[in-house]
A and B are shown apart, each in its own frame.
Chain A
């Protein structure tokens, strides 16, 4: 029923830092309403790929299409119009250090809408509830938060404008397992009920299992995209080690036992 146009389409991306080649002809599509997990070893270029998709960094070659528009050849001004449609969390939080958590969340709302303070506070409370932060955190500055709280506050800010497209860079690293599971549920909820498209970089095998529809693996400067079951049977040594190594055993057993997504 949906037209088959992908929300994000990455075409033949090449990224180079000086001599170092990070991506060599990377192409894949992200369909509307799916959760795509991106995995890869540390330093394989996941964050750089995300920055490229967001238009924060120009690739050495190739194109990124968001809803059919080529953002690599767009002017700054046009890019701004696309940008407020998606929410982003960065690997290190990137909260504005001179604003409180509440002000951080309200910043995008203030930028695009003129609302009364009472309404802003109400919307902020919703975001805090959604990401599971206590209201006492609202008046704190980022330097006064724990690492996990920073992740949650960053997600709350990313959700501020009810975006259709959500990019998350390692959202569950630094969270305790219970919070991480709640977080996965939240992502699943947003995806099923709000029909969000989510792109999530993660090292967390449980997140992959419970939330992701498809997985993109960055290996050898290339990307391999497949369903979780498909990628697990990929013969590439790194991928095999990733999904069948000692830390992955529990998960593979669960998958074998037929645990389904999001239930």
Chain B
């Protein structure tokens, strides 16, 4: 790559071989190793250079430039390498020094800066949520009052995608979770000779809590992420801005149909989940406890309070609104890069599952207080 020779006070640099981008790692090392301090004259000899490209010549040039700045006189034997003319020309137009790393702060400053930035961001988020939800609610009411603004085909499509297409997975999961609950219940209660109460456990557990909760969590994972990603990609492609510029309210065409679609789909899915859960319970009771199907049905009718089924179902639309709003809101927030899209899609799923479970807890407290 590079050989150096000392000749009474002058140093001769000989470049050999090919100085191309493939060899940059070696070139970088050999340029660093050059003993440049304390020599007054530097001759550079490029005659043995076989190949050269811009990158390597650029590094050579800046190394020589640094020598010159520290007082060394640089000259070329047999003229400058061929690319130098172009590089000199470039440099005249734009003198440059690039630093891609931010200035380092001291740690107390960093702590203050981080805290401050987070506080501001949190405040902005809170305001953003409020603004978005306010607008969605306004837009919903508007659409319901003016059916012309209600995009029925779109609502149907989202009800189909979030509902019908989720049927197999919701049915399967409800079935198996009910089987697990029944199994645990049966094996514990049988020891007390209270095996029959397994049926009560299944009935109340599935209808009041599990059916709707499982459905909501699955839908949050499926549709919450889909909403955020669909709207997020539209944001990245400026499609949302295009809608606004045509005079169409993006909330009206993108958010409202999705939320309404979920409000339709989630209760229906919940009913299916309830049915499958009961079926799973019945099957396991029959198998483990020898409770025949007619016996099971009779026992279920005893265990059912008039409100049991409704206490589960009534939660479904509320969960639907939460999931739909969070998913679409996170999608609307996507700006600029694919990384944002990933981050906000994740946030949409995590937040909607959290909110569903949190809301379920609040419902539980309210129902207990109301004796519902």
- Report A's interface with B, CB cutoff 8 A: 96-98, 100, 102-103, 109, 112-117, 119, 121-126, 128-130, 134-135, 138-139, 141-144, 161-162, 189, 193-194
Contacts and interface: CB of A to CB of B under 8 A. Distances in A.
A129 B91 contact: yes
B337 interface: yes
B165 interface: no
Contacts of A112: 22
B128 interface: no
Give the one of B21, B62, B90 with max A CB within 10 A: B21
A98 B249 CA distance: 28
A119 B58 CA distance: 10
Interface string B94-129: 101111110000000000000000000000000000
B97 A193 contact: no
Interface string B17-42: 00011101100100000000000000
B14 interface: no
B238 to A, nearest CB: 10
A161 B20 CA distance: 9
Contacts of A102: 98, 100
Contacts, number: 91
A128 B99 CA distance: 13
Contact of B20 (A125, A162, A193): A162
Given A115-B24, A162-B53, 10 more contacts: A97-B236, A102-B100, A109-B24, A113-B21, A134-B94, A135-B94, A142-B337, A161-B21, A162-B54, A193-B83
A130 B93 CA distance: 10
Contacts of B336: 97, 141-144
Nearest to A190: B54
A122 B25 contact: no
Secondary structure of the A contact surface, majority rule: helix
Secondary structure of the B contact surface, majority rule: helix
22 contacts: A97-B236, A97-B336, A97-B337, A98-B338, A100-B100, A114-B25, A115-B24, A116-B28, A119-B28, A119-B59, A121-B100, A125-B96, A126-B55, A129-B96, A135-B94, A138-B98, A142-B336, A143-B336, A162-B20, A194-B53, A194-B54, A194-B83
A113 B335 contact: no
B93 A162 contact: no
B241 to A, nearest CB: 12
A115 to B, nearest CB: 6
A148 to B, nearest CB: 17
B51 to A, nearest CB: 10
B21 A162 contact: yes
